[in-house]
Amino acid sequence: MEKFVVRGGAPLVGEVTVSGAKNAAVAILPATILAGGKCVIENLPNISDVATSVEILHAMGASIRMIDSATLEVDTSRIVVTDVPAEMSRQMRASYYFLGALLGRFGRGCVSMPGGCDLGTRPIDQHLKAFGSLGASYNVEYGMIRVSSSKLAAEHIFFDTVSVGATINAMLAAVMAEGITVLENVAKEPHIVDVANFLNTMGADVRGAGTDVIKIRGVREMHGCTYSIIPDQIEAGSYMAAATITRGNVLIRNVIPKHLEPITAKLEKAGATIEEFDDAVRVCCVGDIEPLNIKTMPHPGFPTDMQPLMAVLLSVAKGTSIITEGIWENRFRYVDELIRMGANIQVDGRVAVIEGVPELQPAPVRATDLRAGAALVVAALAANGVSEIEEISHIERGYEDLVGKLRGLGADIKRIDIPGERLRQAL
């Protein structure tokens, strides 16, 4: 087991470069299956969810070649296996995208119920509804989801709830279905647009991504391509929050400022000064943190994945803030850990009432999920003294080289292996 040890209390200062978006990468890698040929994917983040996706592709018969640390060539022409190994698909949420991609190319696919962050129930009924509407049959048995179809046909699908995963899975399954598929009430996140752009670069005809309605004209075949993944909105937002709470001054490079707007607006209200450039933002903060009310919503609303990071920031605001979680039924599990660090937060269902305290205290804490883990690291950077964050494998699912990037900003943080550290102390 590994942990981060952070000595906090100093402002973050300098420049940091954001990696490619996790939630786009984990959809684009399975989508290469639809090419049945070679794709070169650039700006891939070096995170464990990407490693798992690559391992799955490899296990299914794809050839993978590393071109550089952020670029892979994925050749899916020789894929024969359409069952994703269960132990691999359970390691991440996005393994469900293999279903859509396999169904689209081979008319069949099987994955185990996906893993990912524990945020309460994470149903996949809308994914199955989309597959069913396109003419596939499916069953869920012994934790395995199996889909199959002799011929997919276009359909008009109205989603009952706005779902990132179901929108992407429906696009993957429909790109080669005969006719024009219309998807309504879809998700509009930047990664939805990125996946649609990738599919179009492979020869698909997907229009309207980023709006409420996506139209897909089925094509007979697709082909390989070269594609660069968008920067990670949430990784960028995490550094923005860290710069603000530590009263730092950080230039965050490789971002699309437009994607950050909901985050920028809230951080400015909290007291940060944010300067936008073409592909960078500078965040600095000198004064008090002002309290805020935030409700998480589908894009272009405030992103739920930033919610724990904002809770940390608001725990040292001058007054009372309210955060309402509009997407997940149980995304406040980290609050107990934050309370160990001196925060004053009351949670009632999906609402957290945060009474700002003058400062956070260092403490040993445990990452309960990916963004909760990142939020605790940010809390530790703000707390004067040494904190330890355990269960960091959650964090490493989604943040490339968090330690290296934070050290580049002057943070005192290290990653240690707990048994190794005990041995060193014993000697």
Ligand X SMILES: CC(=O)N[C@H]1[C@@H](OP(=O)(O)OP(=O)(O)OC[C@H]2O[C@@H](n3ccc(=O)[nH]c3=O)[C@H](O)[C@@H]2O)O[C@H](CO)[C@@H](O)[C@@H]1O
Catalytic residue chosen out of the listed positions 117, 225, 284, 285: 117
Cβ 306 to ligand PEP shortest distance, Å: 9
Give yes or no for residue 48 binding ligand X (CB under 6 A): no
Which residue of this chain has its Cβ atom nearest to ligand X in the complex?
165
Q: Are 74 and 227 in contact (CB under 8 A)?
A: no
- The DSSP bridge partners found for residue 215 are 182, 207
Place of tokens 């929050």: 241
**Has 23 been labeled as part of a binding site?**
yes
Task: Write the DSSP assignment of 162-200 as a string of letters.
Answer: --HHHHHHHHHHHTTSBSEEEEES----HHHHHHHHHHH
Which one of ligand PEP, ligand X, none is in contact with 327 (Cβ closer than 5 to 8 A by kind)? ligand X
Place of tokens 């260092």: 362
Give yes or no for residue 32 binding ligand X (CB under 6 A): no
Q: Which stretch binds ligand X (CB under 6 A): 73-81, 124-132, 202-210, 343-351?
A: 124-132
Residues 236-295 that bind ligand X (CB under 6 A): none
Q: Which residues, at least 6 apart from 120, have a Cβ–Cβ distance to it below 8 Å?
A: 328, 329, 330, 331
Nearer to ligand PEP, 219 or 229 (CB): 229
Give yes or no for residue 101 binding ligand X (CB under 6 A): no
Residues 149-188 that bind ligand X (CB under 6 A): 161, 163-166, 187
Separation CA 28–CA 22 (nearest Å): 10
**Has 146 been labeled as part of a binding site?**
no
Nearer to ligand X, 166 or 406 (CB): 166
Which one of ligand PEP, ligand X, none is in contact with 246 (Cβ closer than 5 to 8 A by kind)? none
Give yes or no for residue 307 binding ligand X (CB under 6 A): no
Cβ 145 to ligand X shortest distance, Å: 12
Which one of ligand PEP, ligand X, none is in contact with 398 (Cβ closer than 5 to 8 A by kind)? ligand PEP
Give yes or no for residue 30 binding ligand X (CB under 6 A): no
**Has 417 been labeled as part of a binding site?**
no
The residue count for the chain: 427
Among 327, 367, 375, 378, binds ligand X (CB under 6 A): 327
H-state helical runs in 248-384: 261-270, 307-314, 335-340, 370-382
Separation CA 244–CA 386 (nearest Å): 20
Give yes or no for residue 219 binding ligand X (CB under 6 A): no
Which one of ligand X, ligand PEP, none is in contact with 350 (Cβ closer than 5 to 8 A by kind)? none
Separation CA 357–CA 347 (nearest Å): 16
Q: Are 365 and 376 in contact (CB under 8 A)?
A: yes
| CA neighbor of 221 nearest in space, from 256, 175, 288, 253 | 175
Cβ 422 to ligand X shortest distance, Å: 34
Which residue of this chain has its Cβ atom nearest to ligand PEP in the complex?
116
Q: Which stretch binds ligand X (CB under 6 A): 123-131, 138-146, 283-291, 334-342?
A: 123-131
Nearer to ligand PEP, 172 or 225 (CB): 172
Place of tokens 């709470």: 245
**Has 322 been labeled as part of a binding site?**
no
Which one of ligand X, ligand PEP, none is in contact with 123 (Cβ closer than 5 to 8 A by kind)? ligand X
Separation CA 421–CA 36 (nearest Å): 47
Is 117 noted as a catalytic residue in this protein?
A: yes
Separation CA 137–CA 175 (nearest Å): 18
Q: How far is CA 80 from the centre of its chain?
A: 29
- Is the CA virtual torsion 231, 237, 238, 241 positive or negative? positive
Tell me the backbone φ, ψ of residue 194, rounded to 5 degrees: -65, -45
Nearer to ligand X, 116 or 135 (CB): 116
Q: Are strands 226-228 and 38-42 parallel, antiparallel or unpaired?
A: parallel
Nearer to ligand X, 3 or 331 (CB): 331
Cis peptide before 300 (omega within 30 of 0): yes
Q: Which residues are annotated as a binding site for phosphoenolpyruvate?
A: 22-23
Interface residues toward ligand X, by CB under 6 A: 23, 26, 93-94, 122-127, 161, 163-166, 187, 304-305, 327-328
Q: Which residues are annotated as a binding site?
A: 22-23, 93, 122-126, 305, 327
Residues that are catalytic: 117
